[in-house]
Amino acid sequence: MNLRRDVFQAIADPTRRAILVLVATHAMTAGAIAANFDTARPTVSKHLAILTECELLKQEQNGREIYYHLNPQKMKEIADFIEPFRKMWDDRFNKLEAVMKKYQTKK
Amino acid sequence: MELKTKVHAEEGKLELIVTREFDLPLELLFRAYTEPEIVEEWMGTKVLKLENKKYGCWQFETTDPAGNKHGFSGTIHDFVPEEKIVRTFEMENSGFGVQLEFLEFEKLTEDTSKLRMHIIYKTLEERAQYLKIGMARGMGLAHNRLEKIAIKFKK
């Protein structure tokens, strides 16, 4: 199993999440993306490579420049992935809260 | 809106952190984890054994809609009332390995409290698999539960 291609692993990193937010509105070149971070350019390139590898980002050639844009379909996959897990716990905890409030009022 | 339940899963780490703030005093939150009848109520599971002490063990059993029974069990490694529970957790006969759980309970105000679940897996694959269970469950079970709770409130 190649972990680098695991979408979930890809979004676990805060810098990569920030990149996804950046390109969410419009396609950007690697240079334009890197300009938003204090991190060294090669580090940003590495993040872009990982995001591209797992198809969260798509590359598009426009003249001499390569633009990165978001792959909404893959993003949806993630939302479908971690959000249900969070929701599962959220529901459980909501239930816990509701149950315990009952005990609280009994006092 | 700030989410009450948060899941933190860092890349390449064997751990998972779930945090939640409750509109409940610490005492009630802790009881929800230690009194068998209450655990049964909110977890929707049968509590076969729950020994709240160091060297104690716990054993739950759930029955799915098809009538199949599923066992969950583990041992308790540390138990400090209204502070923490350290335990192992295993889904029996599921092919999943055992995981280590650190549950930390914290008082925020007189009426609010916080739970931090720190879970450690043997491998990254197991962590990923465990997250995927949420997907399967999240779809089916949670919705059923939500409906039931909603019905309760209607009364």
Q: What is the pLDDT of residues A47-103, one digit of tens each?
A: 999 999 988 899 999 899 999 998 887 777 666 667 778 888 898 999 999 999 988
Walk me through the domains of chain B, giving residue ranges and CATH numbers.
Answer: 5-154 (3.30.530.20)
pTM of structure: 0.66
Exposure b/e, B58-77, CB count within 10 A at least 16 = b:
bebeeeeeeeeeeebbbbbe
Burial class (CB in 10 A: 0-12, 13-18, 19+), A44: buried
For residue B145, what is the enclosing H or E element?
helix B141-154
Q: Are the beta carbons of B138 and A94 separated by less than 8 Å?
A: no
Q: Are the beta carbons of A95 and B145 separated by less than 8 Å?
A: yes
SS3 A60: strand
Are B11 and A12 within 8 A, CB to CB? yes
Task: Return the domain boundaries, chain A.
Answer: 3-106
ipTM score for this prediction: 0.78
* Token pair in block for residue B67: 């009538």
Q: Are the beta carbons of B29 and A100 separated by less than 8 Å?
A: yes
Residues 6+ apart with CB under 8 A from B41: A99
Q: Which CATH architecture has domain A3-106?
A: Orthogonal Bundle (1.10)
